[in-house]
Amino acid sequence: MIKLIKHPDYDYELKRVNYTIKYLKEYNKIISEQKKALDSQIDAQLKHFDPDNKEQFTQVTLSTSIRDSFHQKMQGAERSILKPYFARVDFNEVNSNLQKIYIGKMSLLNEGTGEFLIVDWRAPISNLYYDGRIGAASYNCPDGNIKGEIKLKRQYVIEEGTLENFFDVDITTNDDFLQACLGSSKDNRLKDIVSTIQSEQNRVIRANMWKPLIVQGAAGGGKTTIALHRIAYLIYTFEKKLKPENFMIIAPSNFFLSYISDVLPELGVENVRQTTFEAFAQKVIGKKLKIMPSTKKLSDLVNLRESLDCEGIKKVSNFKSSLEFKTSIKSFLNLIEDNFIPKEDFKIHTFKLFSASEIRKLFLEDYKNLPFMKRINEIKKHLTNSVLNNKLRILEEVEASYDIKLYDIKRAAPDSIERRQIIIKTIDERDALLKSIKKNSKTLVKNYLSKISVLSPLEYYNKFINDERLFNKFNSSYIDCKLSELVRKTSKDILDKNLVEFEDLAPLMYIKYLVYGLDENINVRHIIIDEAQDFSLFQFSVLKEIINSPSFTILGDLCQGIYSFRGVNDWHKTAELIFGENDPDLLKLEQSYRTTIEIMEAANSVIKFLNNKSLPLAKPVIRHGDPVIVLEKKSLAEVKTAIEKNLCELSKNKLKSAAIICKTMEECTELKRLFKNSKFTPKIVNEKEDDYSGGILIIPSYLVKGLEFDMVIVANASKKQYTADELDVKLLYIAMTRPLHKLYIYSVGEKADMLKEVNK
């Protein structure tokens, strides 16, 4: 950190920091005492709690809600005691007095003076700090557009409750404060980004929640942290309408979720759904499935196993991930739908209550917009009501008809033993029929609906895949017979093993949604998808249908699209096909804040190798570092020796994390074996890894996306390992954009052609 030069306002700012911290401690103490008192009150209420007493239930619910509020306030205060605020803006509103606005991670009001000691970074007025410059400025709030003039913008470095430095700035980019934050080690970066949010990032965070937002973000542009800060902002802004549980972030892996796990709590946000697509799919489908790892197919393609038909694998995945395949499944379900209802009337005895055509109309027309089983629930109401409304009438009609029958018997013959026997028999017949109608009416609806055969989503999907004629018929408009049969056979082979692959999840979710609808506990109002370039159009589409809303934040980088065989390669096309009429906002995060200029320029030279102008290049901030080192070695053992020397630099340079990136898992295993007698014990990360614990990792190229490290070492970027293939180029680009400070690239033998421009 740059040494503090005594500023004219230093004494004032020191006094202000100390006063705020003192107030925070008192505030925290008061809230803590109030919470303890409320804890005792709730304990007493629960001892005498009667769940049938509505007044008691309301009282306990209210008390618990207030206690949760106290808990959040205490947590916010405890965090803020160490760093109460990070910025100040002096704003002179038109026809008003100058306001000194101190911005932090919570709001704090001085109860005595009515002055805000701290303003939450998410408040509308805080936008002056992120987007405003010295001079005329304005911000939007519920009262409208507030105009005025920014007189001062100041940034603070406060650590452990001590004022270490502050800077007067105009904008929040490329200043000493940002440089100092970018130069820190990986451990603090995710948590502290709130103080260095840039204008382009701020636009993403504060974008309209109810409009779909697609963000093309450069490697190191802060996509993940901006996504998390957007959630925090939206929860703050819509706290009266929505709960944290209504927001969901979908990340690429559990390992990645572990990596970002402490960011939202640090921002004062809890209970947001954080999941992977696989986990959410299983929740929607409602069944625990054996899913092949989503990386398996990519791993196979990366390893280029000779026994594999790589082009066939890509084509199968591409079609199963398409909107065309979704339409094929819909056609199949339309056929199921057409034959779903029994082709018979709904009757009590001989009395028709609903004709088959009337019930069919209810199912196919009146309740067309509902899932199959929810339509059945509505039809059940109709049938039940018809029984209730007509039962008495039918019983009376039966009695009346038998009265006539008895009258005719009596008139037809004089009294005799034979006539009496006929009368008794007729009365018994009447009574038995009346009894039968009364008894059967209780189960009539149930018995009628039991004739409907409904399968699980997996059973329907299996039925579709196994029906060769229908499968090929419904796909014939999109692919030729040969590819259709390859898709069917490949899928059948997997399903026959009681497995599903990643590409099967969206179809299964879609079937569940159309047939059964969603469970009530899935109440998501906004979805944020990270690493979205690896999502398919089918996935986007089914998620949109499930939440029945265009409220999405989609963040990705086309340069890192290593699942291009199933993912997207054009954001404009995705916006048009998925959100069309909702007119999505497309924003860019072009600036890369992670790496140094030297590292980013080297990575850009690699992605340029594809000669694809649609792939946007990242723009590094002005932060210089060591040159990228590219060295050729004779063996992996020599590479291991060189890596040990690199790792010795970690602690020497006060760096905390390092990733040794190999192209394949096999290479990771081989390199790990070479470290057997080393003083360094790097941990291998595989597809099943759930926990990120930092330190030194050995990780395959296809698992490293989204992560960042102080130092990165690419173990073997040889010409043999990394060819001119698009996937290889993107994998190497991803590996090269992971480091904050240092990048070493080794090759066993001749280096890859795409590296020949690095440091030339």
Taking CA atoms, 8 is separated from 21, 86, 103, 151, 177, in Å, by 22, 19, 21, 16, 19
Distance from C-alpha of 639 to C-alpha of 748, rounded to nearest angstrom: 8
Grouping H, G, I as helix, E, B as strand and the rest as coil, residue 604 is helix
Token readout for 170 is: 């105009």
Strands 658-662 and 709-714: parallel
Distance CA 156, CA 177 (A): 8
Going by their DSSP bridges, the two strands 591-592 and 696-700 should be labelled as: unpaired
Give 592's strand partners.
620
**Count of CA atoms in the C-beta half-sphere (13 A) of 718:** 17
Which tokens in the block code for residue 495? 């399903």
CB 738 within 8 A of CB 707: yes
Range 213-286+519-592: architecture per CATH:
3-Layer(aba) Sandwich (3.40)
DSSP 525: S
For 597-755, the fitting CATH number among 3.90.850.10, 3.40.120.10, 3.40.50.300, 1.10.10.970 is 3.40.50.300
DSSP alpha helix (H) spans, 339-416: 356-361, 372-412
Which 8-state DSSP code applies to residue 197? Answer: -
Whether 213-286+519-592 shares its CATH topology with 597-755 is answered yes
- Give pLDDT, residue 673: 95
Q: What is the pLDDT of residue 551?
A: 95
Q: How far apart are CA 396 and CA 403, in angstroms?
A: 10
Question: Would the pTM count as exceeding 0.95?
Answer: no
Tell me the CB-side half-sphere exposure of residue 34, using CA atoms within 13 A: 17
Cα radius of gyration rounded to whole Å, the chain:
34
pLDDT given at position 5? 56
- Could you tell me the sign of the dihedral formed by the alpha carbons of 524, 534, 208, 268, in that order? positive
Q: Please state, in angstroms and rounded to a whole number, the distance separating the CA atoms of residues 707 and 625.
A: 20
Structure tokens at 131: 């987007």
Q: Are 282 and 509 in contact (CB under 8 A)?
A: no
Residue 262: other Cβ atoms inside 10 A: 11
**Residue-wise DSSP of 444-489:** HHHHHHTT-----HHHHHHHHHH-HHHHHHHHTTTS-HHHHHHHHH
218: which residues sit within 8 A by CB, 6+ positions away?
557, 559, 589, 590, 591, 592, 616, 617, 618, 619
How many Å is the maximal CA-CA distance in the chain?
128
φ, ψ of residue 740 to 5 degrees: the values are: -85, -40
- Give the C-alpha separation, 180 to 159, whole Å: 13
Query: Which residue in 6, 288, 56, 59 sits closest to 165, CA to CA?
Result: 6
Tokens standing for residue 11: 């004494």
Query: Nearest CA to 613 among 534, 575, 531, 558?
Result: 558
Residue 689: count of CB within 10 angstroms of its CB: 18
Query: Which DSSP letter does residue 608 get?
Result: G
Q: How far apart are CA 741 and CA 656, in angstroms?
A: 11
pLDDT for the residue 1: 44
Locate 645 and state its tokens: 């020397």
Sign for the pseudo-dihedral over CA of 600, 605, 610, 615? positive
Per-domain residue ranges for the chain? 10-184, 213-286+519-592, 296-336+456-507, 346-449, 597-755
Residue 456: predicted pLDDT: 95
Residue 292 CB-density burial (10 A; 0-12 exposed, 13-18 middle, 19+ buried): middle
Q: Which residues of 725-750 are buried (b: 16+ CB within 10 A; e: fewer)?
A: eebbbbbbbbbbbbbbbbbbbbbbee
| DSSP bridge pairs for 347 | 352
Cα atoms in the 13 Å half-sphere on the side-chain side of 406: 17
Show the low-confidence residues of the chain (pLDDT under 70). Answer: 1-5, 171-193, 304-308, 760
How many CB atoms lie under 10 A from the CB of residue 85? 24
